[in-house]
Every structure is written in structure tokens, then in C-alpha cells.
Amino acid sequence: MSTPSPGRASSRRKVGYAVAWLLAASIAVTVGVVAVNGIGASIRDRGPTVNDAIRQAQLAEQREGSASPDPDDPRSRKEITEDFGVFVVECQGAIATGVRTEPAPEWHTVSYETGPDDDVDAVFAKKAESIEIEVFCNRGVPTVADLERKTLPEIDD
């Protein structure tokens, strides 16, 4: 049996370190790629797709949809008109129902909540501009709670 020379053992150790470093580096790169792909749209500030947003809103509405108006309360309907168009909301007591939207020219309805719920909202968009309006029932009358205007940043393709 021969014992390895000190120079040979040192060379094997260096090769072992190099292999271990390459393995660790490739694992780190793989984990990074998987993380970026997994987070995806959030990292690029683009958020969910419209279909995902609609699906999430529908699921949320199904969970919240337990509100029901008192049949003895009178109904009150209001057409809320802004530059986006019209959002028609009906109240019966404290319960709001989104009846319909009528977008203005060049605008389109992204989504609107039909209710019945304690408040309903609608989102309208035109190019890079969007408006979200939230309506609740104040003493049985549809009342705007919040109107939020947003402009999306330009995205270079």
C-alpha cells in the first residue's frame, strides 16, 4: 500500500472544493430562478391578470354574499355619474346592490360588484387610467364612500 503524497492530497482537496463550490453555485442560481418565476408578476409590478382579478372578486363575493335586505325597507336607486360613465346602485336600508354600469365613450367596465352587501364597488378603465368607485347606503340612499383615480406607469416592451 502506498500513501498518497502531500501534493496529491492537496490537489484532490482543491478539486473537491471546486466541485462543492460549483454545486453550491448551481443550487443558488436554481433557487433564484425558481423564486423569480414563482413571484413573477409581483416582482415586475404588473399584478394579477384581469381574469385572475375577476375570479378573486367572485370568490370574495361568494364569501361575503350573506347580506340580505329587510324586505320592509324602501328601495332607493341612484345613478352616480362621473367622467367614467354611470354606476347605478340601489339601496334597501343599509344593503347596497350594484345594478349596472354604463361606461362613457373610450371607457370600459373592468368589474363591478353586484352585492347585496354593505357596500359595492366598480372599476372603470381607459388606456392607462382607472377609476374605482365604492358606494354604500347612507340612511337608505346610495352614497359615494370613495373614488380612487389611478394612472398606470408606462411599460416598455
Which pLDDT value is given to residue 7?
66
pLDDT for position 85: 92
Cα angle for residues 86, 87, 89 (degrees, 5° grid): 140
Nearest to 97, CA basis, from 105, 108, 89: 89
DSSP-derived secondary structure for the chain = --PPPHHHHHHHHHHHHHHHHHHHHHHHHHHHHHHHHHHGGGTTT--S-HHHHHHHHHHHHHHHTT----TTSPEEEEEEEETTEEEEEEEETTEEEEEEEEEPTT-EEEEE----BSEEEEEEEETTEEEEEEEEEETTEEEEEEEEEEEPPP---
Spans in the chain with pLDDT lower than 50 = 41, 43, 45
Residue 62's CB: how many other CB atoms inside 10 A? Answer: 9
Summarised one tens digit per residue, pLDDT across range 30-75 is 887 777 666 664 545 455 555 555 555 555 555 555 567 777 888 9
Quick one: pLDDT at residue 61? Answer: 54
pLDDT at 59: 57
CB neighbour list of residue 155: distance below 8 Å, 6 or more residues apart: 46
Please give the pLDDT value at position 43: 47
Total residues found in the chain within this entry: 157
Report the distance separating Cα 114 and Cα 89, nearest Å. 9
Matching residue, cell 352616480: 80
pLDDT at 90: 92
